[in-house]
Amino acid sequence: IKLFNRKGEFISPEQYEVFRKIKDRSDLPLSDYRKVGRLTADESAVEKHIKRVLSQPILNIRKIRRRKFKVVVDCVNGGGYIAAPELLRKLGCRVVVINGTPDGKFPRGAEPIPKHLTQLRKKVLAEKADIGFALDPDADRLAIVSDMGIAIGEEHTLALAMMAVLSKRTGPVVVNMSTSRMCQDVAEMYGCRFFRSKVGEANVVDIMRRKRAIAGGEGNGGVILPTSHYGRDSLIGIVLVLQYLADTRLAVSDAIKTYPNYVIVKDKGELPNDFDIKLQNMRAKLSDVNIDETDGIRIDYPDSWVHIRRSNTEPIFRIISEARSRSLAARQIRKIKDLLS
């Protein structure tokens, strides 16, 4: 269950704590759910949202339409099955939809990660499409398959969106502690201030508001554009990526070469009872490196970084490393695991 506040944003940890205290009270009277609150249906919500996305001032819709992109979109039979194809048609795209039946049966893994996008990759090649877009079931995350049929990874979604925004307007950028260095490099290319938050959309939004960021998000393909709203949105991601491709007249396979590329390796482990003690013991063994303890421990080396933290949703810890090569990233993870043992 995802809880939202009256602004339509995920509730913050502080707001959740208030909610939890109320929920756990034993003296609360119970009421018939049919007599509490009000239920309202808005059949025009999708149309309103698309209109808002297309009205963003940094967009040049005519320029996108002139490219006449051929797009394959994988809606995973989820919540974006109407909105994503309709948005693409309004952008003048030739649209091929796969998994567009909202029957509650996800035909692939729900997360739009490369190993789940085999069908989309094949369809992009078969259709000779310019790009493939993959959504997750609630359509707040976006992944891309290139014109070469390669699933480039969700981190590139955010990097390309940042390129689209910052090439037209400069300002602060916020991503979480586990997001790729690519976004930081893009911000530096345009001379923009760059900030990191704790992992979690509510945490990113909190820092975005404080720093008055013009763009932000999470490396899982979640793009946030405040002029639209403070929430991850695959439709915003789609239009920003297409805007960048239209502006540069590049194919996806070439567009991702306009900023530095890295390889991320992700690992996890069962959470021990003395995890915090082990984490501090590991911290004491580290020297001559930049360490950030905002959310677990993030270690920045000259050629790579590693982030280790408790999971927000499972009884595990996560380790993420990024470097120029997969072998170096994997080696850094092994080093941290050895220090934890």
CA pair distance 21, 138, nearest whole angstrom: 28
What is the Cα Rg of the chain in Å?
21
Distance between terminal CA atoms of the chain?
Answer: 35
**pLDDT score, position 312:** 79
pTM (two decimals):
0.92
Q: Which residues have C-beta within 8 Å of that of residue 129, sequence separation ≥ 6?
A: 70, 71, 72, 96, 123, 147
DSSP labels for 225-282?
A: BTTTBSS--HHHHHHHHHHHHHHHT--HHHHTTSS---EEEEEEEE--TTHHHHHHHH
Output the six-digit token pair for 280.
Answer: 């501090």
Q: What is the pLDDT of residue 313?
A: 81
CA 24 to chain centre: 32
Reference 158, options 246, 240, 47; nearest CA is 240
Under 8 Å between Cβ of 97 and 71 = no
Q: Helix, strand or coil for residue 182?
A: helix
Total residue length of the chain: 341
Query: What does the alpha-carbon distance between residue 11 and residue 260 come to, in Å, rounded to a whole number?
Result: 34
Cβ–Cβ under 8 Å, residues 70 and 96: yes
Q: Please, what are the averages of pLDDT over each run of 10 residues along the chain (341 residues)?
A: 84 88 88 88 96 97 98 97 98 98 93 97 98 97 98 97 97 97 97 96 94 97 96 97 98 97 93 89 86 93 93 89 96 90 78
Alpha carbon distance 218, 180 (integer Å): 9
